[in-house]
Amino acid sequence: MIRYFLRRLLYAFPILIGVNLITFFLFFVVNTPDNMARIHLGVKHVTPEAIEQWKAEHGYDKPLFFNPQQTGVQTVTDTLFVDRSVKLFAFQFGKADDGRDIARDIKTRMWPSLAIALPVFVIGLLANITAALLMVFYRGTRLEYAGVAGLIALMSISGLFYIIAGQYFIAKLWQWLPISGFDGGIDAIKFILLPAIVSVAAGIGSGARWYRTIFIEEIGKDYVRTARAKGLSELRVLFRHVLKNGMIPILTGAVVVLPLLFTGSLVTESFFGIPGLGSYTIDAIRSQDFAIVQAMVFLGSVLYIVGLLLTDLSYTLVDPRVRLT
């Protein structure tokens, strides 16, 4: 088991280096540090010295991938790429364009993100499974047919519509909940409720439909026939046999996104004015702050890899057939 995790961790490094290469390529090859300096300094102050100084200040004063002034290994290691990558691996994200410390921002902003994303995740999962089970229980009837049609209709509506409609009707017209904003402590609940309702509604179409397919596939298997031949009731067959098997792909599929809950949802957070990592990222994209975007990409990748590890781990917990070797 431990050996297994060691191997997976070793495998994670090349992936993260790959991620860095991609982001680095995207950010710096087209938009060179010189360009960035020019944009940030403004037209008036562009002098070669000023550019050099800006680059030195912001840590862009080394060649990108290859340093001809150095010798040996250092031609490759003493470069902006290695510099930045090493810092990222140590979770030193540096400063944003407005001078704020990115690492600290992330630390403070991940909790509001989690406060929204975790309830959405849990409620969504439960809602999807319940809806799917209901349809499976009533399979072959008109009720199921209507249910599937309803789910397809729900998943055909843009996620933005749920947010806009929810804000307009629930918050603005009926004034049941605040339209946006966030507060710490117990007050958070009233701010969390609306985004949670909206996100669950937006996700149930595709989610429940997918789970239904999983359950239906399980129901066609031989062991279900065996269970019925034993004289078990339909509910017992559904809950003891089908659910137990169907939960394996559902749970392990859900686990991979667990760590990513910290990074929040871009659109939801920005619509509801939640000071989380999602809105942080979206602001960074809009203001073209590459340092923040790069930090978030790296963080997202690390969390995804953690998610993959957790997926493997969760298999051993829910599926007796899987032993990690």
How far is 32 from 158, CA to CA, in rounded Å? 37
Residue whose CB is less far from other proteins, 160 or 189: 160
Residues 266, 311, 312, 313: which binds other proteins (CB under 8 A)? 266
- Looking at residues 223 to 242 of the shown chain, list those that interact with other proteins (rule: CB under 8 A): 223, 225-233, 240-241
Least CB distance to other proteins at residue 32 (A):
10
DSSP 84-103: HHHHHHTT---B-TTS-BHH
Query: Does residue 4 belong to the site contacting other proteins (CB under 8 A)?
Result: yes
Query: Does residue 204 belong to the site contacting other proteins (CB under 8 A)?
Result: no
Comparing CA positions, the residue from 147, 183, 178 lying closest to residue 271 is 178
Report which secondary-structure segment, H or E, holds 194: helix 188-219
Least CB distance to other proteins at residue 176 (A):
17
Residue whose CB is less far from other proteins, 49 or 222: 222
Say whether 305 sits in a helix, a strand or coil.
Answer: helix
- Looking at residues 66 to 125 of the shown chain, list those that interact with other proteins (rule: CB under 8 A): none
22-30 contacts: CB < 8 A, separation 24 or more?
23/293, 23/294, 23/297, 23/298, 24/64, 24/81, 24/84, 24/85, 24/294, 27/290, 27/293, 27/294, 28/64, 28/80, 29/64
Least CB distance to other proteins at residue 70 (A):
28
**Is the distance from CB of 202 to CB of 268 less than 8 angstroms?**
no
Least CB distance to other proteins at residue 215 (A):
14
Residues 126, 152, 189, 317: which binds other proteins (CB under 8 A)? 152
Residues 76, 160, 189, 317: which binds other proteins (CB under 8 A)? 160
Partners of residue 101 on adjacent β-strands: 95
Site size for other proteins, by CB under 8 A? 69
Query: Does residue 281 belong to the site contacting other proteins (CB under 8 A)?
Result: yes
Partners of residue 95 on adjacent β-strands: 101
Residue whose CB is less far from other proteins, 76 or 160: 160
Residue whose CB is less far from other proteins, 28 or 67: 28
Residues 41, 114, 282, 310: which binds other proteins (CB under 8 A)? 282
Query: Does residue 310 belong to the site contacting other proteins (CB under 8 A)?
Result: no
Tokens 């239904």 identify what position?
Answer: 212
Say whether 275 sits in a helix, a strand or coil.
Answer: coil
